Amino acid sequence: MTIAGIDLNMLANAGFPLASFEPGEVVFAEGDKGDKMYVVRSGEIDIERDGVVAETLSAGGIFGEMALIDGSPRSATARAKTACEVAPINEKSFLFLVHETPFFAIAVMRTLAERLRRSVPRG
């Protein structure tokens, strides 16, 4: 077991019910109250902040984890860039996955760490 190279596709393939979005459709909007995170199963999702695309996620990518972890309003808007399928994960499933699947917890941490490194201005 190593930390590097974890693939969240296994999660998206693990039988969580999927939600479908058409291009341009909003999954959630900045400022919304949130109680789910999402794993991208197919297609692409844009993460927009103040109307600017900060990140584009494809299969295996996760988003919306912040509101689930700390209960704060959505810090960004998630919009389907293409037709896409995502697996919504509510708090109960999240706690189950963290408990039963260390890979899942580490993948969420890695995603947060990557976003944090990108967001910190380097001197």
Which is nearer to its own copies, 46 or 84 (by Cβ)?
Answer: 46
Q: How far is the CB of 39 from its own copies (least distance, A)?
A: 15
CB-based contacts of 52, cutoff 8 Å, min separation 6: none
Q: How many CB atoms lie within 10 A of CB 54?
A: 14
Q: How far is the CB of 20 from its own copies (least distance, A)?
A: 28
Of 40-48, 56-64, 81-89, 114-122, the segment contacting its own copies by CB under 8 A is 114-122
Q: Does 112 bind its own copies (CB under 8 A)?
A: yes
Run of H or E including 12? helix 9-12
**Of 46, 66, 65, nearest to 57 (Cα)?**
46
Q: How far is the CB of 14 from its own copies (least distance, A)?
A: 18
Which is nearer to its own copies, 15 or 51 (by Cβ)?
Answer: 51
- Residues 10 and 104: their CA atoms lie apart, in Å, by 10
Q: Does 10 bind its own copies (CB under 8 A)?
A: no
Q: How far is the CB of 102 from its own copies (least distance, A)?
A: 4
Q: What φ, ψ does residue 11 adopt, rounded to 5°?
A: -70, -45
